[in-house]
Amino acid sequence: MAEVKRVLDALVRSRRGGLAASAALGGLALLTGLALRATQREAPAGTAGKPAGTPVEAGALSDDDATLCLRIMVAASAADGVIDARERERLDAAVAESGLDLAGRQWLARELEDPATIDEIADRVRDPETGARVYAAARLAIDPDTMQERTFLRMLAEALDLDENAVARVETGLAA
């Protein structure tokens, strides 16, 4: 489903607040940047910091990774038992903007009916950068304003083996 990148891009760009300027560069680039920031290690005093991984071009995001991110965004949106009106409006707008075809819309409807579990997502993550990207996608999907959403994010971070510093760097990136 090649259109999944367009849906993911539109959904990430729909995020409001401090991300508006960054999102103008593209939702996939923003998502990749958040993941890169999360996987960076702090440099010792007096040395130049170097990212733990090599930067990935936003266009290099595979269809599988984009699908994984979209699946976790749906799961995060449903974490509190309901996809609220604001979450649904953002999703519908992203689908409309992307031009998702009938097969893609049917796939998304199935995901909404039966969202992926944290374990299903975590089992497909093979490296720290993908884990950070998946976490960032989940965090972008929701404003964790319920206990269920905060618990979902904590459990996701644990399942992805993200330490507190990586999670904090995603949060800092969201606040920028």
128 in any annotated domain: yes
pLDDT tens digits for range 2-13: 577 777 766 676
Identify each DSSP E strand in the chain by its residue range: none
Q: Domain limits at 92?
A: 22-38+61-175
30 in any annotated domain: yes
Q: How many domains does the chain have?
A: 1
43 in any annotated domain: no
87 in any annotated domain: yes
13 in any annotated domain: no
8 in any annotated domain: no
Which of left, alpha, beta for 81 (phi over 0: left; psi -120 to 50: alpha)? left
How large is the average pLDDT for residues 52-67?
Answer: 62
pLDDT tens digits for range 14-57: 664 444 444 444 655 555 666 667 777 643 333 344 444 444 44
Please give the mean pLDDT across all residues of the chain. Answer: 77
CA–CA separation, 104 vs 111, rounded Å?
A: 11
pLDDT tens digits for range 99-122: 888 888 888 889 888 999 999 999
* Residue 151's pLDDT band (cuts 50, 70, 90): very high
47 in any annotated domain: no
Helix (H) or strand (E) holding 11: helix 4-13
3-state SS, one letter per residue, for 82-135: CCCHHHHHHHHHHHHHHCCCHHHHHHHHHHHHCCCCHHHHHCCCCCHHHHHHHH
Contact 116, 108 (CB under 8 A): no
pTM of the full structure: 0.77
The token pair that represents 117 in the structure block: 């579990």
65 in any annotated domain: yes
* Helices vs. strands in the chain: H and E counts, helices first: 10, 0
